[in-house]
């Protein structure tokens, strides 16, 4: 039985595997990270690993698992170490990361987690809990006080199930035990993500105690970030591959593309690692970078995921390899481009060309169904902001309308062969209700789904410049299937009013 990856086993790794250039065991915790999933371990933890090697500091990460003990039980026995596997078209590289110093599980270690978050040595609490983890209203960006988990936490604040509830409880402890300032750093794919979390934490804190809300306003900062790296879910075959490369067992590897980007704006209340040494960009305003990433990368990802899945493709690279789909992605990006206002040194054509290249990487199978998850939480910032800006300026929105129709076709719950699609989304029950009421009637289905104000607000459903093309594309998708609808759209043709092929 091969040995488990651990600090003592690092010296026995083959020279082809990079290892931390510092002693992980000597690094004290300075960051508590909520949501220790694959993305964090392939992104912020890597930047921190570089910063520790280049500049040192007490910036080890205490990872917190909110939903399951799995990651704790995999990582703690191997001293928090794990392998990042970078897969390029041209080859694979392996690197062991040492920045995660411990992992705790919310289910049975709440007190320890609160103590870590309240400790003065902890100077940053960061989050990657996915869009739905914020329990906000995706259309308005405000904390959804009617969300059952939020209601639970407000009734029982000492036993929080939401991340916002946990952060506020920890901030209360911190205030009571010395009151050292803290940075809360959101690293999820949401626009103005720091501001969004600040608004939610403040709203929740006000419900608990106005004095706490005032302390937070004076002592806690919420920088905003744009984070980017494609990190598909780790598979069994990835695990076996890493064990072979290491000659040891690693129960927690992550697999990702070589590209990574991190843009950060805002104040850090109590210092930060030297992330700029590892390539993070510090800017005065992150909003243009967030919009670029959400409206080009993530919007294209969602569109290709829904339409590609419907056309029978399991992974994004297979979809991106189809000339029609690639042409449609280019057209969607062209539509979004006039809504962006980037600093002059950003080469947007090169960024867009690189996206097609990144999506087409066949070494990195990224399942269309993984990206299709939680569309209700993703559509507003990926597609609907572009639609609103373009409508206001009188510009076309046709390709975004097709992407939204692709999502509607997908959440109708049946694929093109009539098989069931398992929808993973906080609003899945609403989709099922609307779909059941309007089966066989794309016009009514579109109207029903547009009526979900948490996604579309009240403006878009009422605007025929949006509702009409979405409805026509949805009818075309039902009548002709995704592949031929995409072929027609890629050729620049809009659907006819009847939904029949032109």
| Nearest residue (beta carbon) to ligand CS2 | 301
With CB under 6 A as the contact rule, which of the stretches 12-20, 137-145, 199-207, 224-232 interacts with ligand CS2?
224-232
With CB under 6 A as the contact rule, which of the stretches 22-30, 199-207, 228-236, 468-476 interacts with ligand CS2?
228-236
Q: Pick from 44, 122, 189, 225: which binds ligand CS2 (CB under 6 A)? A: 189
Q: Please report whether residue 225 would count as binding ligand CS2 according to CB under 6 A.
A: no
- Shortest approach of ligand CS2 to residue 178 CB, angstroms? 37
Q: How many residues bind ligand CS2 (CB under 6 A)?
A: 9
Q: Please report whether residue 230 would count as binding ligand CS2 according to CB under 6 A.
A: yes
Site for ligand CS2 in 481-500 (CB under 6 A): none
For residue 481, report the phi and psi dihedrals to the nearest 5 degrees. Answer: 90, 165
- For the sheet with 224-228, list strands across it: 224-228, 261-265, 281-282
Q: Please report whether residue 228 would count as binding ligand CS2 according to CB under 6 A.
A: yes
Closest CA to 292 of 373, 219, 354, 199: 354
- Shortest approach of ligand CS2 to residue 309 CB, angstroms? 13
With CB under 6 A as the contact rule, which of the stretches 77-85, 207-215, 225-233, 269-277 interacts with ligand CS2?
225-233
Site for ligand CS2 in 314-373 (CB under 6 A): 370-371
Q: What is the DSSP letter of 360?
A: T
Cα-atom radius of gyration of the chain, to the nearest Å? 23
Comparing CB distances to ligand CS2, the nearer of 118 and 355 is 355
Q: Which residues pair with 494 in a beta bridge?
A: none
Q: Please report whether residue 298 would count as binding ligand CS2 according to CB under 6 A.
A: yes
Q: Please report whether residue 226 would count as binding ligand CS2 according to CB under 6 A.
A: no
Q: Say how far apart CA 476 and CA 466 lie, in whole Å.
A: 16
For residue 178, report the phi and psi dihedrals to the nearest 5 degrees. Answer: 115, -30
Q: What are the E-state strand segments in 169-223? A: 182-186, 220-221
Comparing CB distances to ligand CS2, the nearer of 78 and 225 is 225
Element containing residue 45 per DSSP (H, E): helix 44-55
Q: Please report whether residue 96 would count as binding ligand CS2 according to CB under 6 A.
A: no
* Residue appearing with tokens 């209340």: 269
Q: Please report whether residue 301 would count as binding ligand CS2 according to CB under 6 A.
A: yes
- Shortest approach of ligand CS2 to residue 417 CB, angstroms? 25
* Residue appearing with tokens 């049946």: 414
| Neighbour tally for 261: CB within 10 Å | 16
Q: Is 394 exposed, middle or buried (0-12, 13-18, 19+ CB in 10 A)?
A: exposed
Comparing CB distances to ligand CS2, the nearer of 198 and 228 is 228
Q: Which residues pair with 4 in a beta bridge?
A: 249
By CB under 6 A, name the binding residues for ligand CS2.
189, 228-230, 298, 301, 370-371, 378
């Amino acid at each position: 039985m091969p040995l488990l990856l651990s600090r003592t086993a690092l010296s026995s790794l083959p020279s082809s595997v990079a290892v931390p250039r510092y002693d992980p065991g000597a690094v004290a915790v300075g960051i508590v990270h909520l949501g220790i999933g694959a993305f964090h371990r392939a992104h912020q933890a890597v930047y921190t690993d570089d910063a520790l090697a280049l500049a040192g500091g007490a910036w080890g990460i205490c990872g917190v698992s909110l939903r399951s003990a799995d990651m704790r039980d995999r990582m703690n026995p191997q001293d928090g170490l794990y392998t990042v596997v970078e897969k390029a078209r041209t080859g694979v590289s392996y690197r062991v990361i040492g920045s995660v110093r411990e992992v705790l599980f919310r289910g049975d270690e709440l007190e320890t987690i609160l103590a870590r978050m309240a400790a003065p040595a902890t100077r940053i609490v960061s989050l990657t809990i996915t869009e739905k983890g914020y329990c906000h209203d995706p259309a308005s960006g405000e904390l959804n006080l009617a969300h059952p988990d939020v209601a639970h936490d407000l009734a029982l604040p000492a036993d929080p199930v939401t991340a916002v509830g946990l952060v506020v409880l920890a901030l209360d402890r911190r205030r009571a035990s010395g009151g050292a300032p803290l940075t809360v750093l959101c690293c999820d794919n949401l626009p103005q993500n720091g501001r969004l979390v600040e608004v939610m934490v403040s709203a929740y804190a006000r419900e608990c105690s106005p004095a706490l809300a005032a302390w937070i306003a004076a002592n806690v900062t919420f920088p905003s970030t744009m984070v980017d790296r494609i990190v598909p879910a780790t598979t069994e075959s990835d695990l076996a591959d890493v064990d072979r490369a290491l000659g040891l067992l690693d129960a927690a590897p992550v697999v990702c593309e070589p590209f990574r980007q991190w843009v950060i704006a805002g104040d850090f209340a109590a210092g930060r690692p030297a992330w700029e040494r590892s390539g993070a960009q510090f800017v005065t305003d992150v909003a243009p970078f967030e919009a670029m990433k959400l409206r080009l990368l993530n919007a294209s990802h969602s569109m290709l995921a829904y339409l590609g899945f419907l056309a029978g493709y399991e992974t994004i690279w297979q979809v991106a390899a189809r000339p029609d789909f690639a042409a449609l992605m280019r057209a969607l990006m062209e539509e979004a481009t006039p809504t962006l206002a980037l600093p002059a040194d950003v080469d947007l054509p090169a960024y867009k060309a690189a996206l097609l290249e990144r999506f087409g990487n066949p070494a990195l199978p990224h399942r269309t169904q993984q990206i299709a998850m939680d569309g209700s939480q993703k559509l507003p910032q990926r597609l609907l902001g572009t639609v609103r800006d373009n409508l206001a300026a009188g510009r076309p929105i046709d390709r975004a309308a097709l992407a939204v129709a692709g999502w509607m076709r997908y959440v109708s719950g049946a694929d093109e062969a009539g098989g069931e699609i398992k929808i993973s989304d906080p609003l899945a029950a609403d989709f099922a209700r609307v779909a059941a009421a309007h089966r066989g009637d794309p016009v009514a289905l579109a109207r029903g789904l547009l009526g979900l104000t948490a996604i579309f607000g009240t403006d878009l459903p009422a605007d025929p410049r949006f509702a009409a093309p979405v409805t026509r594309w949805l009818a075309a998708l039902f009548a002709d299937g995704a592949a031929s609808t995409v072929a027609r759209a890629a050729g620049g043709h809009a659907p006819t009013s009847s939904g029949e092929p032109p």
